[in-house]
Amino acid sequence: MSTMKKFHWFWAWDDEKEEAWLRQMAQEGWHFKSVSLPGSYIFEKGEAIDYVYRLDYFVDRKDMPAYLQIFEDTGWDYLGEMSGWQYFRIESHDGNAPEIYSDKASKAKKYERLILYLVIFLPIFLSMMNITSRGDAGYLRFFSFFAEAFMLLYIYAMVRLIHRVTNLKKKV
Amino acid sequence: MSINYKKYLPLTESTAYILLALAEPLHGYGVMQKVETMSQGTVKIGPGTLYGAFSTLEKEALIIKVEEAKRRKTYTLTEKGKALLKEHIRRVEILLENGLSTKDWQ
């Protein structure tokens, strides 16, 4: 059976695009086999099947078995994890795309977990900025550039995710 | 029992149905099936939604875990959960009566 390695990076706020891409791959007969950081997928060639993929963000190791059991009981296949992103799959027989979150309020919580995770890491980012801004040595300026680029990305990610949550929480 | 109803109300349709289903002890899959039947197919609860609801409701002491077999947790309503559900139903009933008796908009 032939396999294919494919690199496909996605940003946290574009997780739904990643789901759609995986579904499209399956419709072309390329089925998810594994994923590892940073977005390195392995696909297996087979018959074209309309698999619907869903990505959840979940990092509670202790309660993982109970969490996975609920998905398994409702017909979802658990495929694996990439740094907190949990990959699930179910076959669609009518063209519809089943959801793992059936209302907006609960879907918002997925992104809130992500935001919380980013906030927890803020002190580490800040101390990184602090160290790199202290000296004038060439290598420090080099790191400082990366730290600043990282910080900008961090802020951008926050804005996009908060926007996502606000939209999901909008009533009516 | 004094409950700060404002903190919880109005419940989402899914949450109300999950609480209602837990009038008897059930695990996750049981809740999903019961809700779909009770709601005549109008409410289908996704696994992500259900897992999240279980942990939030348990944290708020609205439901309680009564059994944990293998990896399946069974929950049921607490007295606080019952009181909240009762208040929610009371409000929905008022809305229902208004909706049915007011003819102008129909």
Each residue's pLDDT tens digit, A103-123: 999 999 999 999 998 898 888
In a shared domain, residues A157 and A115: yes
Choose among A67, A76, A106: nearest Cβ to B53: A106
Over residues A120-150, the pLDDT tens digits come to 888 877 777 777 666 667 777 777 788 888 8
We find that the CATH architecture of domain B9-98 is Orthogonal Bundle (1.10)
Q: Which long-range contacts (CB under 8 A, 24 or more apart) does B14-18 make?
A: B14/A102, B14/A103, B14/A105, B14/A106, B14/B43, B14/B45, B14/B49, B14/B53, B15/B53, B15/B57, B16/B85, B16/B88, B16/B89, B16/B92, B17/B43, B17/B45, B18/B45, B18/B50, B18/B53, B18/B57
Q: Please count the helices (runs of H) and the strands (runs of E) in chain A.
A: 5, 6
Asked if the structure places residue A125 within a domain, the reply is yes
Question: What is the pLDDT at residue A136?
Answer: 67
- Cβ-based interface (< 8 Å): residues of B facing A: 12-14, 28-29, 32, 43-53, 55, 70-73
> Domain boundaries in chain B?
9-98
Residues of B in contact with A71 (CB under 8 A): 47-48
Count how many domains chain A has: 2
Residues of A in contact with B29 (CB under 8 A): 70, 73-74
In a shared domain, residues A53 and A125: no
In a shared domain, residues A31 and A110: no
In a shared domain, residues A125 and A163: yes
- Are the beta carbons of A101 and B49 separated by less than 8 Å? yes
With CA atoms as reference, the chain A residue closest to B45 would be A102
In a shared domain, residues A64 and A110: no
In a shared domain, residues A80 and A22: yes
Residues of B in contact with A94 (CB under 8 A): none
Asked if the structure places residue A46 within a domain, the reply is yes
pLDDT band at B2 (very low <50, low <70, confident <90, very high): confident
In a shared domain, residues A118 and A150: yes
- Are the beta carbons of B47 and A70 separated by less than 8 Å? yes
In a shared domain, residues A73 and A147: no
In a shared domain, residues A86 and A7: yes
The answer on pLDDT for A47 being more than 90 is yes
Question: What is the pLDDT at residue A112?
Answer: 95
In a shared domain, residues A84 and A139: no
Q: Domain limits at A134?
A: 104-170
State the ipTM, two decimals.
0.87
In a shared domain, residues A157 and A112: yes
User: Which residues of A, range 93-132, sit inside 8 Å of B by Cβ?
Assistant: 98-103, 105-107, 109-110
Domain's final residue, options A59, A91, A123: A91
Over residues A19-41, the pLDDT tens digits come to 999 999 999 999 999 999 888 99
* Closest CA–CA distance from residue A55 to any residue of chain B (Å): 10
Question: What is the pLDDT at residue A135?
Answer: 64
